[in-house]
Homo-oligomer: A and B are copies of this chain.
């Protein structure tokens, strides 16, 4: 079945394998009249670019986006926006030794069983590279949401046991360090930890937080298309994510109603909440507070120590993974979390337009 298309009104279709000819996305349903260009999208792609620090692979992809359709004289036309990156750095030879062996922690075994055929070069479709398509399409969604005053703040919240300290939160520092952490002290500890792991060929898990500001109240559809349901699905679809939390997340299970409920109050005609345990979502709809999502990433499965596994014929073998692999997924994945979030929020903002007759009349009868 078609698993590479998502969205209801604003739909994304992504395609491409890690070592194929190109990788891309088609964004359909973007409102006409939005100013967008390749430079804007490129800035998002650059945030997930490999080869930027000692913590990322040295693949020398240019990852240069081309807008092939849907934009005319600098503005979206309402027709599908096709976005593409030609792959230029194929070192497929690196993967020939794992062609017939399934890597622990990877999708290889499942792909073999499901399809009986697999583009084994660099993970093929299950490569992290697949997310480039999402980032390109999601960058357009971010651009769209910025017209409505909606902003994103995304960062690495923890690396291994090292969590950021909210008291020393420094937003400006996020872009200044390769781990995208908003806390200099935590960054330095995490850096040292990763250096240790890299020496032994190991990798680390981490978590990413994404905060969305200024979403109007009521975004999200009742029951199955709730804002949190759609966000959870979108974020969990990113490779290596094993948990999605909204607001206080898992901590709500140990809380009490008298603590967890966010009391409302009114100030200067605005309805506000005294706390934000809900993470900005109540009953599946935005409640006017910051929306807070946290994703837990597993450690990069490609490690350099020898591991036990099986080959295609079911023999027990050992595997030594070579090639270029990050010791941590999260810093490059932060922009993926942000852009996936943007795609969901943008889609639900569009769908919310028809939630009441008053809105329909505003468009057609005025």
Contact = CB atoms under 8 A, between A and B. Distances in A.
A350 B31 CA distance: 14
Size bracket of the A interface: 35 or more
A80 B4 contact: yes
Contact of A264 (B70, B102, B114, B301): B102
A26 B34 contact: no
A310 B255 CA distance: 24
A297 interface: yes
A77 B3 contact: no
A228 B236 contact: yes
Given A3-B223, A353-B353, A82 B22 contact: yes
A271 interface: yes
A126 to B, nearest CB: 5
A18 to B, nearest CB: 10
A7 B358 CA distance: 21
Nearest to A201: B258
Nearest to A11: B2
A100 interface: no
Contact of A242 (B9, B67, B279): B279
Main secondary structure of the interface of A (DSSP, over half): mixed
A117 interface: yes
Interface in A341-366: 349-365
A117 B33 CA distance: 7
A11 B7 CA distance: 14
Given A233-B230, A257-B301, A207 B242 contact: no
A122 interface: no
Contact of A222 (B24, B125, B264): B125
A103 to B, nearest CB: 8
Contacts of A220: 3, 110
A262 interface: yes
Contact of A217 (B1, B10, B110, B144): B110
Contacts of A68: 15-16, 20-22, 24, 84
A223 to B, nearest CB: 4
- Give the interface centre of A3, A28, A314 by most chain B CB atoms within 10 Å: A3
Interface string A319-352: 0000000000000000000000000000001111
A154 interface: no
B21 A66 contact: yes
Interface string A259-302: 11111111001010010011100111111000000001111111
Contacts of A237: 223-226, 228-229, 284
Contacts of A34: 357
A216 B223 CA distance: 29
A260 B299 contact: yes
Contacts of A7: 2
Interface stretch (A52-60, A180-188, A246-254): A246-254
Contact of A205 (B4, B24, B252, B302): B252
B233 A242 contact: no
A78 interface: yes
Given A236-B244, A236-B246, A249-B296, A355 B115 contact: yes
A105 interface: yes
B4 A28 contact: yes
A26 to B, nearest CB: 5
The 3 closest A-B pairs by CB, nearest first: A107-B283, A3-B221, A233-B233
6 contacts: A4-B26, A72-B117, A72-B124, A76-B357, A242-B245, A257-B303
